[in-house]
Structures are given as structure tokens and as C-alpha cells.
């Protein structure tokens, strides 16, 4: 499994204008509409993954609003959630530990000021709040996200035997009878007294 590289997420998925639109939006429908336009997601799609993604991103934006995050923090946290989800869906294999490790690395990358490697976007208190939120929402439902976003693999198995053609099927069936009974311990005989 290939590990994603940890990078600074500031303005990666949402621009300043996008964040301002999301901060002004108050209703669920307004936020869903804005997110679907920003991320090129079709809201009325029959694909259940689109509605699951919109809900994930809606609750991410809602958390940012409820936590009083500024524009930079909102953009970063949104991209952290999006990147963590992308890590989850990269493989159909169970990779919860890798996803959590990637999430923690992304948080650290945005909590310590060491340009150009990391920026102090979040405070220590915000890091704790974000960590609790993501653990209680995304990672608690990790297997459901994995199920919805992992392509199902169908295996069509057919077996064909290529070998010698049986010239005498009757003799072969007698030999099969002998071999079958021999595997249980001793060959079957027609004389019952020789047992």
C-alpha cells in the first residue's frame, strides 16, 4: 500500500472565496449546493457515494462554523478531512491504521510553525477538538465509508480440466470405485468373509 505524502493543505481544496461563501451559508441546502458546485459533485445523482460525500463535507463545514474557525483554519480542516478520506479509499484493503497515522501527520503539519514544512494554523486546544471530532465521526464510521467507496470485486470462476481422454469409461469407473474405497483404509472386496 502506497503511503500519501503529507503536505500543507492551506487553500488546497477551498479558495478564500469558497470559504466566505460557505461561512455565509446558513441552511443545509445552501451548504450542499455550494459544496456541489465547488467540488463538481452532482447533488441529484443516483450514486449514493455523492450524497455520502456531500454529508461528510457538510458536517465538516458545520464543525468549522460551530468551532469558530477562521478562513484559513476552515480551508485546512476541510482539506485534512478530504485527504484522510482519499487515503481511506485508495485501497480496498483494511487500512484504518494508515489513515489514522496520515490524519495525525496532517494535524501536526498544521500545528507547528516550521516553514516550509509546516504552519501553525491550529492551536493546541483546536488540535484536541479536531482530533476528538474526527475520531468520534469519521473513524467511528470508517468501515461504512470503506464499504460505500470501495469497488466491489466479483469473481467468476470456471474450471476446465485438460488431460488424457478416457478411452474406456467403464473400466475407469471401476478403478475409481477401488481408489475411493482404498482411501478409507482398505479396498472393497466382493467376498465379505475376507474382512
Instruction: Tell me whether residue 6 is in a domain.
Output: no
151-166 residue pLDDT tens? 777 777 888 777 776 6
Instruction: Tell me whether residue 167 is in a domain.
Output: no
In the prediction, which pLDDT does 82 show?
96
Instruction: Tell me whether residue 145 is in a domain.
Output: yes
Which of 54, 43, 44, 119 is CA-nearest to residue 85? 54
In the prediction, which pLDDT does 86 show?
92
* Parent domain of 33: 16-149
CA angle (177, 181, 183) in 5-degree steps: 120
In the prediction, which pLDDT does 92 show?
82
30-64 residue pLDDT tens? 999 999 999 988 877 788 899 999 999 999 999 99
In the block, cell 461528510 appears at 56
Instruction: Tell me whether residue 128 is in a domain.
Output: yes
- Quote the number of domains for the chain: 1
Instruction: Tell me whether residue 180 is in a domain.
Output: no
First-last CA distance in the chain: 60
Each residue's pLDDT expressed in tens, for the chain with a length of 195 residues: 667 777 888 889 999 999 999 999 989 999 999 999 999 888 777 888 999 999 999 999 999 999 999 999 999 999 999 999 999 988 888 889 999 999 999 999 999 888 888 889 999 999 999 999 999 999 999 999 999 988 777 777 888 777 776 666 555 555 555 454 444 444 555 555 544
C-alpha–C-alpha distance, residues 82 and 138, integer Å: 11
**Burial of residue 64, with CB atoms counted within 10 A of its CB: 0-12 exposed, 13-18 middle, 19 or more buried:** buried
Instruction: Tell me whether residue 109 is in a domain.
Output: yes
Q: What pTM value is reported for the model? A: 0.74
DSSP state of 190: S
**Burial of residue 149, with CB atoms counted within 10 A of its CB: 0-12 exposed, 13-18 middle, 19 or more buried:** middle
Non-local CB neighbours of 139 within 8 Å, separated by 6+ positions: 96, 99, 100
In the prediction, which pLDDT does 145 show?
93
Instruction: Tell me whether residue 4 is in a domain.
Output: no
C-alpha–C-alpha distance, residues 34 and 26, integer Å: 11
Instruction: Tell me whether residue 72 is in a domain.
Output: yes
Amino acid at each position: 500500500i502506497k503511503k500519501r505524502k503529507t503536505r500543507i493543505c492551506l487553500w488546497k481544496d477551498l479558495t478564500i472565496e469558497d470559504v466566505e461563501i460557505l461561512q455565509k451559508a446558513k441552511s443545509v441546502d445552501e451548504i450542499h449546493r455550494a459544496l456541489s458546485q465547488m467540488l463538481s459533485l452532482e447533488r441529484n445523482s443516483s450514486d449514493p457515494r455523492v450524497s455520502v460525500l456531500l454529508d461528510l463535507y457538510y458536517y465538516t463545514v458545520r464543525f468549522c462554523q460551530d468551532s469558530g474557525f477562521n478562513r484559513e483554519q476552515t480551508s485546512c480542516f476541510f482539506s485534512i478531512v478530504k485527504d484522510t478520506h482519499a487515503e481511506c479509499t485508495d485501497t480496498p484493503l483494511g487500512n484504518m491504521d494508515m489513515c489514522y497515522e496520515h490524519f495525525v501527520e496532517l494535524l501536526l503539519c498544521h500545528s507547528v510553525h516550521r516553514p516550509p514544512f509546516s504552519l501553525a494554523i491550529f492551536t493546541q486546544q483546536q488540535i484536541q477538538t479536531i482530533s476528538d471530532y474526527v475520531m468520534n465521526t469519521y473513524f467511528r464510521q470508517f468501515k461504512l465509508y470503506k464499504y460505500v467507496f470501495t469497488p466491489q470485486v466479483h469473481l467468476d470462476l470456471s474450471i476446465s480440466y485438460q488431460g488424457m481422454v478416457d478411452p474406456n469409461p467403464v473400466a475407469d469407473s471401476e478403478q475409481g470405485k477401488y481408489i475411493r474405497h482404498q482411501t478409507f483404509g482398505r479396498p472393497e472386496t466382493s467376498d465379505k468373509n475376507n474382512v
